[in-house]
Structure 1
Amino acid sequence: MKVAKFGGSSVANAEQFRKVANIVTADPERKFVVVSAPGKRFKEDTKMTDLLILLAKKVIEEDVYEGVLAQVVARYDEIVTDLGLPRDILDVISSNLQQIIDTYADQPERLMDALKASGEDNNAKLMAHYLRHLGHEAHYVNPKDAGIFVTDEPGNAQILPQSYEQIAKLKERSGILVIPGFFGYSLSGHVVTFPRGGSDITGSIIAAGVHATLYENFTDVDSIYCVNPSIVENPCQLRELTYREMRELSYAGFSVFHDEALQPVYKLGIPVCVKNTNNPDAPGTFIVATRDHRHQPVAGIASDTGFCSINISKYLMNREIGFGRRLLQILEDEGISYEHTPSGIDNMSVILREEQLAGDVERRVLERIEKELQVDEVSIERDLALIMVVGEGMERSVGIAAKATAAFARANINIEMINQGSSEVSMMFGVKADAVERAVRALYEVYF
């Protein structure tokens, strides 16, 4: 059995629906289908999820929302009309949206989650409807009926372990099962979404629950590239990646696969194949437990911007028991998560997303660090980009780091920070944001 997940670009309009139906019905092993909300139909288009977020904001702010609601329904109307489906499905979708608004109008977090989730939910209903229209046995399965129970953290749900026993029962059902991605249900019965892009997570959860032989993740590229193709023209395509390599690359900016989606399949060793809905015959990229990295120790280079560094100096910091814990407690009190904490004997830096220091947060954090930790200096360095060089073969290859630093020197790029984990699966470099593309191209030249 295979689980096939289709991203937003794969279900953006009627033409894409037809491609998905052909892919699913071409292989009888594709029993489980997970769909996203409709994505962009063209470059300037708005994703369905963004429309739904706007709709929720209008309702929360008690603004006129009917126009946005009409835009949402119109997107589904276009798909229904172009596929020649009976129009009664539109009534189901419209009433569902209005019911969500009426139910949660005075509960902003619940409203936002329920409306965001409706994009996937209604698209799954449409996909099942279309497959039946073509003469196939297909069933829409609500995540609650599928057994996807999650923690009650709006926008940040985590799967509950007891879910997998319920999900396994899906194997007993007949026909093609179409399941909406991106959300589950709390034990109290509320819709709760995964982080944005979480349909990948749903697909992985279903694959693990039914012990699938393969989890296929369909998107709009033939494979995963070793570097962002908007930075490097015609980069190398990757045929294989390990789970650990994909996890590191996803975290560091590869948007093709959600960084939290690997955990369920990783534990069971279920392979993942990233494929192209628009070119399904292309082999794609397999994500597996191990690969032969003798000829290519570096798997990929990823980058992301929007970081800053809180830099702290204090003489004899290394002798002060509990210093790091107290520093991180200040961040925790402000609800700030951090990315990395490189340190020396008398200094320590905390790398974090710059957006987390918005408003009055920055002043409070700096004041608390000065007062409670009695530091000699504290400063913030802004406009940082992080670049990750990833590959499980790096551990046994001499000169990998030397190649990187030499490449930066040739490109006249100053390195603001270097960090390498004990696993040696990745090396991280901090550079100024305006130099990140030059830095990535320099690394690509030496590794690929």
Structure 2
Amino acid sequence: MKVTKFGGSSVANSEQIRKVGDIIKDDPERKIIVVSAPGKRNKEDVKVTDLLIQLAESVLNKEDYAKRLQTVLNRFLEIAEELEIEQHFLQDLEQSILTIISDDSSDRTKMDKLKSVGEDSSAKIISMYLTKLGLNATYLNPKDAGIIVSDDPGQAQILDESYEKLYKLRENDEIMIIPGFFGYTNDGQLMTFPRGGSDITGSIVAAGVKADLYENFTDVDSVYSVNPTIVNNPKEITTLTYKEMRELSYAGFSVFHDEALIPAFQHQIPVSIKNTNNPYAPGTLIVAEKKHHEKCVIGIAGDTGFSSMFVSKYLMNREIGFGRKLLQILEDESISFEHAPSGIDDMSVIIRDFNFPYEKEKKVLRRVQDELGPDNIKMHRNLAMVMIVGEGLMSTVGIAKKAATALTQANVNIEMINQGSSDVSMMFGIQSDDLESAIKSLYEVFFNDDE
């Protein structure tokens, strides 16, 4: 059994949905299909989820929402007409949206309900289209599928009891089309996963039914060793591990939401990334383990939007609880941190900028000064993190030297180096303006110089 997920670009219009139909028809093992809301049809277009968020904002702000509602309906009308889907679907869709708008749920719950309309409608359209093709297909609501989640609007987490319920789907003979992105609480309230959550749904369902393979169809042939908008024609990655994919996703690769693989990782389900527009290309296979070989670096990624808080104090290493107290201040202010490299007399805390606005920065720095009495405290803004990823980094001689050489050749100053004990990644903090030149130089050293 395969669980197959199609992203927004794969269901953006009727032409793409026809390709989806051919892919499902081509392989009878594709028994469970998870779909996103329609994505962009071109670069200037707007994703349906974004249209629904705009609609929700108009409703919650008590503004005239008629025009935004019609824009949403028109997107689905165009798809339904071109696929020759029964028109009652659109009447049901409009009535469903109006019912959500008029109910007395909280603002956060209403936002979740409206956001979910994109995936839900996409799944209904595709199930009707597959039936039209002669396939035994059915729409399956996440509640009926058994996707039970925590009561946390926009940030729902899967509950363990879901997996037992999902396993029963193996007994069904039909091709089941499940909308991604949302589930239901035990008391029947709809909740969405974090943005990009259709990937999370696909991973959860694959884990629940113990699928032989979780296929994720998108608009690229494979995962590349570096962002193809920075390096022309980069090498494709044919196989990588869950840990490597998680690190690459975290550091800016947009193929997967960076939490999406956790259920598949926990249940050891292999994941295949494929291209809806080129379905017979080999794609990239993500597995639990692979054999190490001499060339361990499989990818280079980078992302901007980081800051570093540098704190130094003589004999810090002898002051019991210093690090805990520093991190406690961040916790008190609801700030999560990304990394915390340290020396004997100093400690840096790396924070995402969106978690650390200037108002919070002033308060945190004042508290650190008053409560910890450091000799020096400095903020470094406008940082980027460059990550070199590959299983076996720590046991491979010369990786750090090659990386430092590449950055030197690009005239990029290293602000920070962090290599944890995960044996999967090495991270460099640099100025954001240097990110592109750093990645190009690192790619040249690790992928082209070896040829």
Q: TM-score range by the shorter chain?
A: over 0.9
The match for 1:168 is 167
What do residues 226-283 of structure 1 show as CA deviations (whole Å, max 9, x unaligned)?
0000011100001100111111111111110122122222223211000000000001
Give yes or no for the alignment of 1:314 onto 2:313: yes
For 1:90 and 1:290, the matched residues in 2 are separated by 46
- Tell me if structure 2 keeps the 8 A contact 1:249–1:302: yes
- Tell me if structure 2 keeps the 8 A contact 1:184–1:191: yes
- Tell me if structure 1 keeps the 8 A contact 2:37–2:122: yes
C-alpha displacement at 1:360, in angstroms? 2.3
C-alpha displacement at 1:359, in angstroms? 5.3
Give yes or no for the alignment of 1:136 onto 2:135: yes
Structure 1 runs of 4+ aligned residues shifted over 6 Å read none
For 2:13 and 2:295, the matched residues in 1 are separated by 39
Give yes or no for the alignment of 1:380 onto 2:383: no
AA partner of residue 34 (structure 1): V
- Tell me if structure 1 keeps the 8 A contact 2:141–2:179: yes
C-alpha displacement at 1:8, in angstroms? 0.3
Secondary structure of the residue aligned to 1:63 is coil
Give yes or no for the alignment of 1:343 onto 2:345: no
For 1:300 and 1:113, the matched residues in 2 are separated by 35
What do residues 72-98 of structure 1 show as CA deviations (whole Å, max 9, x unaligned)?
111101100111111110111111111
The match for 1:331 is 330
C-alpha displacement at 1:408, in angstroms? 0.6
The match for 1:25 is 25
The match for 1:45 is 45
For 1:173 and 1:376, the matched residues in 2 are separated by 66
For 1:289 and 1:64, the matched residues in 2 are separated by 51
Q: Output aligned runs, 1:152-163, within 5 Å.
A: 152-163=151-162
Relative to the length of structure 2, the TM-score reads 0.97
For 1:359 and 1:420, the matched residues in 2 are separated by 29
For 1:332 and 1:152, the matched residues in 2 are separated by 22
- Tell me if structure 1 keeps the 8 A contact 2:85–2:125: no
Secondary structure of the residue aligned to 1:393 is coil
Give yes or no for the alignment of 1:78 onto 2:82: no
AA partner of residue 28 (structure 1): P
Secondary structure of the residue aligned to 2:89 is helix
What do residues 383-427 of structure 1 show as CA deviations (whole Å, max 9, x unaligned)?
100111000032332101100001111111000110001122100
Secondary structure of the residue aligned to 1:350 is strand
AA partner of residue 133 (structure 2): L
What do residues 300-347 of structure 1 show as CA deviations (whole Å, max 9, x unaligned)?
011111111111112221111111111111111221111001111111
Secondary structure of the residue aligned to 2:393 is helix
Give yes or no for the alignment of 1:397 onto 2:408: no
Q: Output aligned runs, 1:54-69, within 5 Å.
A: 54-69=54-69
- Tell me if structure 2 keeps the 8 A contact 1:296–1:393: no
AA partner of residue 256 (structure 1): V
Give yes or no for the alignment of 1:207 onto 2:206: yes
AA partner of residue 401 (structure 1): A
The match for 1:409 is 408
For 2:112 and 2:372, the matched residues in 1 are separated by 39
For 1:237 and 1:296, the matched residues in 2 are separated by 14
Secondary structure of the residue aligned to 1:85 is coil
Greater CA deviation, 267-276 or 13-22? 267-276
Give yes or no for the alignment of 1:446 onto 2:441: no
Secondary structure of the residue aligned to 1:248 is helix
AA partner of residue 129 (structure 1): M
- Tell me if structure 2 keeps the 8 A contact 1:185–1:192: yes
The match for 2:291 is 292
For 2:407 and 2:324, the matched residues in 1 are separated by 34
The match for 2:264 is 265
Greater CA deviation, 45-54 or 8-17? 45-54
Secondary structure of the residue aligned to 2:404 is helix
What do residues 154-187 of structure 1 show as CA deviations (whole Å, max 9, x unaligned)?
2211110010000011111221100011111122
AA partner of residue 417 (structure 2): I
- Pairs aligned (count): 447
What do residues 14-51 of structure 1 show as CA deviations (whole Å, max 9, x unaligned)?
00010001001110000000000000000110011111
Give yes or no for the alignment of 1:236 onto 2:242: no
- Tell me if structure 2 keeps the 8 A contact 1:313–1:347: yes
Q: Gaps (5+ residues) in structure 2?
A: none
For 1:359 and 1:397, the matched residues in 2 are separated by 41
The match for 1:302 is 301
For 1:39 and 1:190, the matched residues in 2 are separated by 26
Secondary structure of the residue aligned to 1:409 is helix
AA partner of residue 10 (structure 1): S
